[in-house]
Structure 1
Amino acid sequence: MGERAIAAQARDLTKDFDGKRAVDGVSLTVPEGRITGILGPNGAGKTTTIRMMLGIIDPSSGTRSLLGHDQPLQVAREVGYLPEERGLYPAMPAMEAIAFMGALRGLPIAEGRRRAIALLDERGHGDWAKRPIRTLSKGMAQTVQLLGTIVHRPRLIVLDEPFSGLDALNQEKLEQLIRDQAAAGVTVIFSTHVIAHAERLCERVAIIAEGRVAFEGAVDDARGRLRPIVRLRTRVADGAWRSALPAKARQVAGEWRFELPETGPEPLLKAMIDGGAGIETLSIERPGLHDAFIAIAGEAAAREMGHAQDPEEAA
């Protein structure tokens, strides 16, 4: 498969606010038809970077292109954008809200209403069509705004912290909507400070910390920076076989954990079998994106994101 065309690109973007640098030389590339996540704690510069790439604000320096145009606003009608600060007219029926958002991107209002009804029906929400926004729950209203973001069938969808405030069920529905759009060939960019969403959805990620890109590339490449982790439980607590464990091996909840040695598992297994360790369980696990994030961005950035634990992990 050949290289994909570029949907969005930033080169050395900077942005200063009142003498303070919020974005400091950000460069990133978003291939067409893929899901790209922008990861980082609140205040890292994610939203400012997105707004510069979309042409909502101008950079202090650097260049950007969007769908092949150096002036992003020229292709605004081909973009669906859900900002972090969201809001709908409370008295407007859901169908009209979706159609109105489409009209802002050039979609005729009658066609917008037709598509709005179809989008709601597809998701089993046809009964929402005539309900005023103020009568919907927060999750329902956010679903309406998301449908308004895609109703004009954009080539590129940009979602800024789209999972914020949603319960686990609505997060799952949003993840499926993102997958469906990507499967249809739409490029998706979303920012988040919950790493689990990016790990489940993204092919590529950009990790931003303190206004700079610490990593950009495939999720597998980020995880590949760390060696696999061995988890080992034995029947025998001690013996000569212990000398075969790496120096940094540590015991956690009754099992040994350590990085897989460069020599692979075979010499370790032989030493343990010969030494009568009595292997109960042994697994070799690839590090997750969370571990890679810590290695790339540092413990401090990870701690700043720690409060945003994935609901499934917290359960």
Structure 2
Amino acid sequence: MKKWGWLLIAGLLALSMAAKGDLMNIFGSKPYADAFFEGDMLNIAKAIKKKDGEVITKLGKAIEDIDAPGKHGMTLLGFAVNDENPVAIKALMALGADPSIELPELGSVAYHAMWRKSDEPLEALLESGMDPNLRDEEDTLIFNTPLLEESDAMKLLVEYGADVNARDSLGNTPVLHLVSTAFDEVLYLLDHGADADVMTDSGVSLAYSIQLDLEDMDQSTEAYQKMLKIQQKLVEKGVKFPALTPFGERFRNNIVFCQEPHGYMPKAECKVEGVNEYLREQTEQEKRLDEKILKERFGIEHRF
């Protein structure tokens, strides 16, 4: 019985994975309208495939919920984005379709638009009034764009007013989030208003992140040269090196680890202070460096 039980479980898991794969294939392609919709919504989906904005508007006004999900959780706006269809996207947005609705396995309609092969779906959403700072539980769209060499999504978001200094759930801005992996994107954001003198809630500054990365990188690589370029960009914007460690930044900015509310924050905002049990000890070398920087750069005398 145990043998047959395990075979049954294995079979069910295989079916589940296959179903998930089929679903991803459906979303990743440009399927027929009846793969997702029926009834009145199917008629609108057919008009979407024909790029007939007038029919989409006429039929869309007659249905109760323009964002009602069809099969597999697909919405009409998601279907139009999947079809890379600006005419349909603009017609549906004019009817009040919501680009923040989540599509199974794909994130929001807006997120899906950023990752299509064409930039037209995202541009159509933005032209139709979509908020470029659309946020989910963790962050805004600009944290998740494809690389600049692959897409103009980041440029479009910035052009339409995306906040290049937005914070994610961990207190990162886009440049803090991207600095170790997406060098061209960080340079672009710094050239378009990103704060160079920025740090996380816990006191990890952009300058400190760059400093650490440069210490660990192979100097013969292109990545090292690009990181040097980012460092130079910060210097041009008035950022000083060497950077304070997070210990030094927390002291300078009176940041504490708080039990209530939970996390790092200014002491004035903390109700109950706590201790971060996962925090390593500050090294003697870090102490002396922070003391020197605090005194010479900020006129602060302190002994760690």
Structure having the higher Rg: 2
Larger relative helix fraction:
2
| TM-score above 0.5, yes or no | no
**What's the TM-score once normalised by structure 1's chain length?**
0.28
* Larger RCO (alpha carbons 8 Å, 6+ apart): 1
**What's the TM-score once normalised by structure 2's chain length?**
0.29
